Amino acid sequence: MNKVVKITPFFSQLSKENQDILLQHGVKIHAREGTTLFYEGEEATNIYLIRSGKVRLSKMTIDHKKFFLHLKQDNDIIGEFSLFNDMLVSMTAEVIEDSTLYKFTRENLEALFLQNGDIAVAFIKLFARNTQSTQAKFSDLLLYGKVGALYSILIRFSNSYGVKYHNDILIPIKLTNQEIANFIGTSRETANRMLQDLKKENIISILDDNILIKNIDYLKKYLRCERCPVEICTI
């Protein structure tokens, strides 16, 4: 039986009181699809809270190809990786769906942390969890190759976006083979071949251009997922 895992995003973990306090320290903005919030290599100045929409985080490889790292959604935080360590921004953030966000400056957040220890601790936990998630993603690629990277991405999309569909798990996001390839650092042709192999084995199928995972335990067994907490296995 395929079980849908529900991950509680950052903002939803805060109490209602702390949610209101956090929003009071930010500026509400609207960003259209295609907007870039920040570029890899820039000076870090802001953190964003997504209230609705989707933002994709990516890096540029040494051969100038995009490598997708994360796809963040409602109530997720982006930009925290570089803001408090005086380093340049480590990823590019691109809005891929019209979004409503709250923008926070470093100064405002640091002042808030001095006033509210609960919110400060929540951000510390967020930073640690997201760092572990990124490290685990690279670990899957290094230890298990392109096949393992694909299985990892499918599991991560299932954990972050999956919905129950009969006895299967539907990922209600249309992902092209090129986008999947960019998430695992390979060519579109290689990604297509690996997906076809999974279809032949009845591990996945396609429903209205969406991926339907029919045997997620097969993917998890390959990656030995029992060793990792599900909270870090997100996209």
**In a domain? residue 120:** no
Distance CA 222, CA 204 (A): 15
CATH number of residue 219's parent domain:
1.10.10.10
Query: For residue 201, what pLDDT is reported?
Result: 95
202 and 142 fall within a common domain: yes
- Residue after which a domain boundary falls, among 115, 150, 180: 115
Q: Are 104 and 151 part of one and the same domain?
A: no
Flag whether 153 is in a domain.
yes
Domain assignment present for 121: no
**Do 228 and 142 have their domain in common?**
yes
Q: What is the pLDDT along the chain (235 residues), one digit of tens a residue?
A: 566 667 788 899 999 999 999 999 999 999 999 999 999 999 888 999 999 999 999 998 888 888 999 999 999 999 887 767 778 888 999 999 999 999 999 899 989 999 999 999 999 888 888 888 888 877 877 778 899 999 999 999 998 999 999 999 999 999 999 999 999 989 999 999 999 999 999 999 999 989 999 999 999 898 887 667 777 788 8
Residues 203, 215 contacting (CB under 8 angstroms): yes
Whole-structure pTM value? 0.89
User: Which residues are bridge partners to 67 per DSSP?
Assistant: 59
Same domain, residue pair 103 and 143: no
Encode 15-41 in three state secondary structure. Answer: CHHHHHHHHHCCEEEEECCCCEEECCC
Tell me: do 198 and 107 sit in the same domain: no
- The answer to whether residues 101 and 150 belong to one domain is no
Query: What pLDDT was estimated at residue 216?
Result: 93
CA-closest candidate to residue 73, choices 138, 156, 4? 156
Does some domain include residue 51?
Answer: yes
| CATH assignment at residue 90 | 2.60.120.10
**What's the one-letter identity of residue 33?**
E
The number of distinct structural domains making up the chain is: 2
**Tell me, what's the pLDDT at 234?**
83
Q: Are 139 and 97 in a shared domain?
A: no
Greatest Cα pair distance in the chain: 56
Q: Are residues 138 and 189 in the same domain?
A: yes
Does one domain contain both 66 and 137?
Answer: no
Same domain? For 85 and 167 the reply is no
Q: Are residues 28 and 56 in the same domain?
A: yes
Closest by CA position to 159, among listed 213, 204, 94? 213
Q: Are residues 31 and 109 in the same domain?
A: yes
Give CA–CA dist 141/92, Å, rounded.
21
Q: Let me know if residue 124 belongs to a domain.
A: no
Cα separations in angstroms, 52 against 9, 31, 42, 99, 170: 12, 10, 25, 5, 21
Instruction: State the residue range of the domain holding 190.
Output: 133-232
Of the residues 115, 142, 176, which one is the last residue of a structural domain?
115
